[in-house]
Structure 1
């Protein structure tokens, strides 16, 4: 069995999509949840979703170590460390320290580093990470409030985070095929090796080369090349529709702001009041719930944090806004699912997705149909026993019309 550790909830579903696409029966386990031996027996891969991307380093490492220990107890003989395709991290971590801990636990001497996801414009060439046609350092990720990415060479991003050597394998080697990549990896003196990958065929080559490696690392794209286990296809069913479909949007990314603007042309939209979220979150949750319940049956309202650069507010009364908004959005989703108003819920933003899933008390996500690259519907059950269909979207992913087109997949 393949066991994976993902540093946020949207990244976990992103990886699970890729694994399901190439034949794996896969589920996402939320943090410390144990799905039980009966469920695990029907799976080829388990992805443990953590909320560790921007956690303190020691906390992220400890959570990842616990996840690895559980996965190995469940029978995982190969490990996959999943991080964002834009390599979101600082010079202190958390990617490097987590990789060190996992490699040490598994006794891995060489680990590939492959953040590329060409379907979403993330590629690695001559060791540099590109977002579309731009170097990472020139992309909107340069201004990320928690992990500003001001360099583009992946080795230079990883090197300050680990005491181990970081080397590179160029595209010419990759284009010679899996055997050439295996030889280059065997000859490498570095524990970590950044591999050029500019299209899906490159990722398939790399995946074939490292199919038996004890530890691999990357974005979700690397999973494209992992071998199909040849097991029967997984079945999947969405929850019965509730009165409304709901999008909860905490991301402030440029892509998500475009999605909010597109949805506002046809769907009811309401912005979270950042000051109210900080000062009186209970009252703000009540306001949002009241508004959602007023919307016409069958509609798909959108509750969002920001729609444009002028909406960005980092602090109110000296308190950070982002965690307050997450709390408000999660509380809103929890109450509307609990009373049956909503059973189909799309959540935008990695941190927001984690907060919503935790608030719902969801322990397991069964992977369903793909909506767009890196985004899928999942089936879950809340702590209160409610069936719910969830889509968890990374802030930077998805087409502009996502908040309206996503529902068509469930029609």
Structure 2
């Protein structure tokens, strides 16, 4: 039993320092000595009693972590081992440090739903992306904490994701396609867009199309990989598995064949002559395997292709043209391919296979009633 500076009995586990501050100590369920400090004797007795009670209530929990300590452990031992890109991991770490780190030095078992909600709302004031990243991070790390008996429940699970302003997906009309291709000042850009419309490849599959995936004699391409979204730690882009982790065959129509033959011939000539030799030190290791490359002879990035497409699209708009398709993106070409395949009489199962979908149900989201088909079908009303 401790004594105060004036010699009075303070109670079990309580002592008083020379500066007058009271110190209460106890051993928790894990055998670790814990300390509580306060300037008021009555209050420290209450805090000690509450701490011992809370520790007993956590009898089923096997570890003690602060929120920050658990994030660091989770990030290092779980997230990094999932094979995510460096850029993705940096984004998670950056947003946690920005919005959570300052308030994360608390017992993880005392982190409440309302605390998480406040943090997410703070991030949402900056951007929806930041808010969603923080919400997703907190939910994932708390779920692992729950599975490891560090907390009794995932208090972040009930926080709803913020609804996104989803754009309406539409295919290109023939008129839109003609104007888009007309706005191309670079033959390569024109070929990439037209090839994408005629094959329905994902943008990462198009940019990662390599010589060994092409069979011109049998008129098909064998999609077995896609290009990474971000470079690795050495600044190199690399091949990774397709989205569904399955390879697939995509047949080539005559237009796609012409485009592919032209670009393979051009690319082989560039490699033989070393047209981009002065840039070779900056190239990704896979650049020599690619059919479509940028002006430096290196990997064409997603951001680069999006920028090119935006410029081409805006040229027609500046000239007064109004697209039937309101939101044109690289993914629009995939929707266009799917819609035209169905209109040509293909079964949903075949279209699903060509797109590399895991289910026909997903494919149906890619099929729309194009304006061209709608105008043709209207004529049929006379037969009713």
Larger-Rg structure: 2
Which TM bucket (shorter chain)? under 0.3
Q: Which has the higher strand share?
A: 1
Q: TM (normalized to structure 1)? A: 0.26
Q: Which has the higher helix share?
A: 2
Q: TM (normalized to structure 2)? A: 0.28
